Amino acid sequence: MSYLIQSLENEHVKEELPEIRIGDIVKVHNRIVEGKSERTQVFQGTVIAIKGQGPATSITVRKIGAHGIGVERIFRVHAPRVEKIEVLRHSKVRRAKLYFLRDRVGKRARLKQVRR
């Protein structure tokens, strides 16, 4: 039975994904359905957590919205609604989860950029 489930999961795994790491600044292009129309919404922010593996991989992306309010969204990387993910910048981090960024504001919330 597990072979059947595994083969079904592997059908939905996307091959063209970039290498995403903690601390990367990414743009996630997400397809949104509103009534009969569809549009693509871009969510740009810092990857603060990666959970799961294989087709169940999800990333938590955090951005600072209007008036300095933090917004976090969790995206399933291999979901059909996620059209593509672009990595804009890499940052130097020493942690697996960057939850401490929730308490930081302004310049203290910045991460040091790494050039690769």
Cα(51)–Cα(58) distance, rounded to whole angstroms?
Answer: 5
CATH 2.30.30.790 fits 2-114, yes or no: yes
4-37: pLDDT as tens digits = 777 777 777 888 889 999 999 999 999 999 999 9
**Closest alpha carbon to 70 in 110, 104, 31:** 104
Percent of the chain with pLDDT over 70: 97
**Closest alpha carbon to 43 in 64, 14, 23, 16:** 64
